[in-house]
Amino acid sequence: MGTMVDMEKKSELIFISSTLIGHLSSILELAQILINSDNHLSITILIIKHQATPFSESYIRTVLASQPQIQIIDVEPPPEEEQTPIPQFTASFFWSFMEWLKPHVKSTMQNILSSYPNTVVGLVLDFLCVPFSDVGKDLGIPSYLFFPSNAGFLSLCLHFQKCQIEDVLNNSNHELLIQGFPSLVPSSVIPDDYYTRDEEQVVACNKLTKKFTETKGIIINTLSELEQYGIDTLTDGQTPPIYPVGPLIDFKGLLNPSLDKVQHNRLFKWLDEQPPCSVVFLCFGSMGIFDPSQTREIALGLQRSGVRFLWALRSPQTTDNKAEETLPEGFLEWMELEGKGMLCEWAPQVEVLAHKAIGGFVSHCGWNSILESLWFGVPILTWPIYGEQQLNAFRMVREWGLAFELRVDYRRGSALVMADEIEKGLKHLMDKDKIVHKKVQEMKEMARKAVLSGSSSFISVRKLIDDMIGSN
């Protein structure tokens, strides 16, 4: 009898993710890949709610509905008598929010440890949740970092963590030599949080990064075919072992906060009617909202370029103003008449990029968007806005030659990108003879190969599991 129980006992992993969409879809994909790769594994996901991303919880439950090997547990902090930090999207907010949550996470994990038959072999932490590695340490569980971005951004975080804060704040160099990058990196593409005069942000970023280096391994949503140089540099004996397991893509496209069935059908009916590779898709991530004057320039650029387009035009959540109301006069009527364009608030991006009518993508260069575009072989015109997107855009254009440049250093608050530049960029993007198109097709093949049995990311997943289970 004892042997029977032992045989059924599984190795349990506890995942903790922030509820930011760009982090969630890939970490949930990782959880499913691990479960499907080894039936000795079982996973529990702790959900931490965040007021700024209300649809995340239902997304997690939908994605995991058909995965009995993955359990979901809510971390329930008692909010009444304690002051929750005010939600923001800055490193210092996330640091203090996670610190505030630590005792609640600890008691949730203690409950798991005392009630589960399985042996907990590891804690997998989204990078914003890395402060919980302290809880792991207290409870004797090794932590693994899940880095939803790329090896280059990780190298940059490590670079700044090693710098003296005064050097960062006083640095006026226009180009930086950063380990992991084959050439100098312009300071204009360094993420705001890392290269700012705001000492609080710099300190918070560095505290987070320090914690990265204390984990047992770093799982990255990248593929060695794309980032071999950066991955080799990180394999230096000092940084924890690196596991490049990407691309992790949510092909089911269940993330869908605001598109109903009727809109969905309308959108795909229209796409079905367009010639192959003729439509430009414009989408700027989960937080990609422009102000009215920039929205108008985009509309004029589209109109003048004459290209067919599908535009995910997001309205601000904080006001009742609909973005459509800020479009130039007559634009909607023109669109209707010409039949060349389609608007939506939230686009089912993966499904859209997979559609044969899509020939180009104007993207904010969030890392998931980049991986999705490469997977479907759709070239990007770069328009970064926030986070590490400027760095991603720079690398796509200059390091890899995999994208067309509209801007690599645009950020929220930059001067307007004018309609004529947008028009030119769109025409460039849709010109099929360009070498970029060829390179994107080659990378598409490599990305698809990387996840096949026996290939790079597949081997990394196997090694990760062996290291996790073996360490127990």
Output the six-digit token pair for 185: 């990196």
Of the candidates 94, 212, 361, 367, which one interacts with ligand UDP according to CB under 6 A? 367
Of the candidates 218, 283, 300, 335, which one interacts with ligand UDP according to CB under 6 A? 283
Q: Does 388 bind ligand UDP (CB under 6 A)?
A: no
Say if strands 242-244 and 279-283 run parallel, antiparallel, or are unpaired.
Answer: unpaired
CB of 346 to ligand UDP, least distance (A): 4
109 or 287: whose CB is closer to ligand UDP?
A: 287
Cα–Cα–Cα angle for 71, 41, 452, rounded to 5 degrees? 110
Q: Does 285 bind ligand UDP (CB under 6 A)?
A: yes
- Please choose, out of 91-99, 282-290, 320-328, 433-441, the segment that lies near ligand UDP by the rule CB under 6 A: 282-290
Residues 6+ apart with CB under 8 A from 262: none
The H-or-E segment that residue 251 falls in is none
Chain residues 99-158 in contact with ligand UDP, contact rule CB under 6 A: none
Q: Does 48 bind ligand UDP (CB under 6 A)?
A: no
CB of 129 to ligand UDP, least distance (A): 16
The CB density around residue 103, as the number of other CB atoms within 10 Å, is 12
367 or 410: whose CB is closer to ligand UDP?
A: 367
The Cα 442–Cα 42 span in angstroms is: 36
Q: Does 312 bind ligand UDP (CB under 6 A)?
A: yes
Q: Does 286 bind ligand UDP (CB under 6 A)?
A: yes
Of the candidates 255, 271, 380, 393, which one interacts with ligand UDP according to CB under 6 A? 255
Q: Does 91 bind ligand UDP (CB under 6 A)?
A: no
Order of strands across the sheet that contains 41-47: 70-74, 41-47, 11-17, 119-126, 143-147, 217-220, 242-244
Q: Does 224 bind ligand UDP (CB under 6 A)?
A: no
Contact 254, 59 (CB under 8 A): yes
The Cα 88–Cα 14 span in angstroms is: 26
CB of 193 to ligand UDP, least distance (A): 14
Instruction: With CA atoms as reference, report the closest residue to 470 among 30, 40, 110.
Output: 40
Radius of gyration of the chain (CA): 22
- Give the contact letters, 316-355, x = binds to ligand UDP (CB under 6 A), - = no: ------------------------------xxxxx-----
The CB density around residue 348, as the number of other CB atoms within 10 Å, is 20
CA atoms within 13 A on the CB side of 266: 12
CB of 382 to ligand UDP, least distance (A): 13
Of the candidates 193, 297, 372, 423, which one interacts with ligand UDP according to CB under 6 A? 372
Identity (one letter) of the amino acid at 322? K
Contact 120, 444 (CB under 8 A): no
The Cα 191–Cα 204 span in angstroms is: 14
Of the candidates 366, 377, 384, 425, which one interacts with ligand UDP according to CB under 6 A? 366
208 or 312: whose CB is closer to ligand UDP?
A: 312
Chain residues 24-43 in contact with ligand UDP, contact rule CB under 6 A: 25
- Give the binding site for ligand UDP (CB under 6 A): 21-22, 25, 255, 283, 285-287, 312, 346-350, 366-369, 372, 387
